[in-house]
């Protein structure tokens, strides 16, 4: 895994604890060094300090996601407000740990993220839709569909439910990591874009809207 932390003492402590648990850790002391290391060899997991001297940790996470990195990302930060947490999670982080923290908690969170990442099958399908979670690629029948990261996450959530309805609340929690209703049409807007891309060239709408509840994939395959 890749650790991007400019505090040498903190980095040493984290590396020592993770190594003791059997993990291989590659430390980087800067954002640019971390991004370069990420692009050389995609790690199983990234630990990113939010406040780096040369680059905001948020920018590191966004760069990782835009480059196609799909592994779990844990943000470390001294900024613990709800707004800061939401910003980090919306940028693409999977978890957020506020400093100071117990190293034992950090190790436990990392192991939970790794377990979460290994439970899902690389390729999954429902109806005419097929997704490759590793490559983040999507097909409807034989046609490749190019999606933005958030659109892929929405579709991945629908595919994983095998035609069952996914509520708007669940999508906010699982895709945007929001445990409250932001009172916006963020879900509807992204779902509309996803629907347009999936349905281009097809007569049948791949997504079924369950009014007042949520969305499901149509078993059209």
Three-state SS for 95?
A: strand
The average confidence (pLDDT) of the chain is 88
- Residues of the chain predicted below pLDDT 70: 41-42, 68, 117-121, 221
Write out pLDDT tens, residues 73-124: 999 988 878 888 888 888 888 898 998 888 889 999 998 888 776 555 678 8
pLDDT at residue 173 in the model: 80
Q: What is the pLDDT of residue 143?
A: 94
Which stretch of DSSP H or E encloses residue 58?
helix 57-66
How far does the chain reach from its first CA to its final CA, in angstroms?
Answer: 39
Burial 57-66 (b: 16+ CB within 10 A, else e): bbebbbbbbe
**Euclidean distance between CA atoms 10 and 32, whole angstroms:** 19
pTM given for the model: 0.56
166-175 core/surface letters (b: 16 or more CB in 10 A; e: else): bebeebbeeb
How high is the pLDDT of residue 41? 67
Largest distance between two CA atoms of the chain: 60
Residues with Cβ < 8 Å from 128, sequence gap 6 or more? 140, 141, 202, 206, 220, 221
């Amino acid at each position: 895994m890749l650790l991007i932390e400019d505090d040498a003492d903190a980095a040493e402590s984290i590396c020592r604890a993770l190594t003791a648990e059997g993990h291989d850790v590659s430390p980087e002391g800067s954002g640019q060094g971390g991004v370069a290391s990420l692009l050389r060899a995609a790690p199983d997991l990234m630990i990113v300090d939010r406040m780096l001297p040369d680059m905001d940790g948020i920018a590191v996470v966004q760069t990782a996601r835009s480059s196609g990195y799909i592994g779990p990302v844990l943000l470390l930060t001294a900024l613990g407000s709800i707004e800061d947490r939401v910003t980090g999670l919306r940028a693409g982080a999977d978890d957020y740990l506020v400093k100071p923290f117990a190293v034992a908690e950090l190790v436990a969170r990392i192991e939970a993220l790794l377990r979460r990442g290994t439970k899902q099958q690389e390729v999954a399908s429902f109806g005419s839709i097929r997704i490759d979670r590793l490559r983040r690629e999507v097909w409807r029948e034989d046609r490749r569909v190019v999606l933005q990261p958030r659109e892929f996450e929405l579709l991945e959530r629908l595919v994983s439910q095998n035609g069952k309805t996914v509520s708007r609340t669940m999508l906010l929690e699982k895709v945007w990591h929001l445990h409250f209703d932001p009172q916006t049409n963020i879900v509807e807007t992204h779902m509309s874009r996803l629907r347009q891309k999936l349905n281009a060239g097809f007569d049948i709408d791949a997504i079924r809207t369950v009014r007042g509840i949520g969305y499901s994939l149509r078993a059209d395959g």
